[in-house]
Homo-oligomer: A and B are copies of this chain.
């Protein structure tokens, strides 16, 4: 468990920003920016600089007064925190449009994560073939054997909602410890399994809420 310098559990909101900090520092390094400050980081992240300073203060002294933050040091710090030193292989279940989009998403271009296996039901004509990038698409009935052989602990579910729980149960039986769930269905899983859900409807409603909020604020001015 990642704890702060105060020996407390890292707040969930901060934890969710870690990948964004990592992305921003990688960008700074590749743009040959050697050092930066909380304002510049905040602007890239779309939050206020107090949030950045509060997040960073939880880890102790990441910067130096009058100097700011060393971008290479911070990139490595967040990369280590996120375990981005080791390769992570991922299995994907559900090779519809969304599944194909995710396989093509090229997570690996900028990170050490890679979808290396895909699955669908026998009726899908893609089963038994490979994607252009060489990712094999297997029959879902082979998943238990394949995952054990490949030592994969992470999976993406991009099937129809009504199959999501069934697929999750299958994945957990096959040794998966973490699931990225692209269906609106909330999954029931044992306590030792981690689920991260991407709920596209919620994302769209959040956008509409903030649009309306901005419009009402503007109307009042």
> Which residues in window 67-88 of A have CB below 8 A to B?
81-84, 88
A110–B1 CB distance below 8 A = no
How many monomers of this protein are in the complex?
2
Residue of B nearest to A155 (CB): B207
Q: Is A44's CB within 8 Å of the partner chain B?
A: yes
Q: How far, in angstroms, from A172 to B218 measured CA to CA in the complex?
A: 17
- Could you tell me how many residues of chain A have their Cβ less than 8 Å away from some Cβ of chain B? 65
Chain A interface, DSSP helix/strand/loop, else mixed: helix
Residue numbers of A with Cβ under 8 A of B are 1-2, 13, 15-16, 18-20, 22-23, 44, 46, 81-84, 88, 90, 96-98, 100-102, 104-105, 107, 110-111, 113, 153-154, 156, 177-180, 184, 186, 192, 194-196, 198-218, 220
| A46 partner residues in chain B, CB cutoff 8 A | 186, 195
B205–A18 CB distance below 8 A = yes
Distance (whole angstroms) from the CB of A115 to the closest CB of chain B: 10
Q: How far, in angstroms, from A8 to B82 measured CA to CA in the complex?
A: 35
Q: How far, in angstroms, from A74 to B82 measured CA to CA in the complex?
A: 38
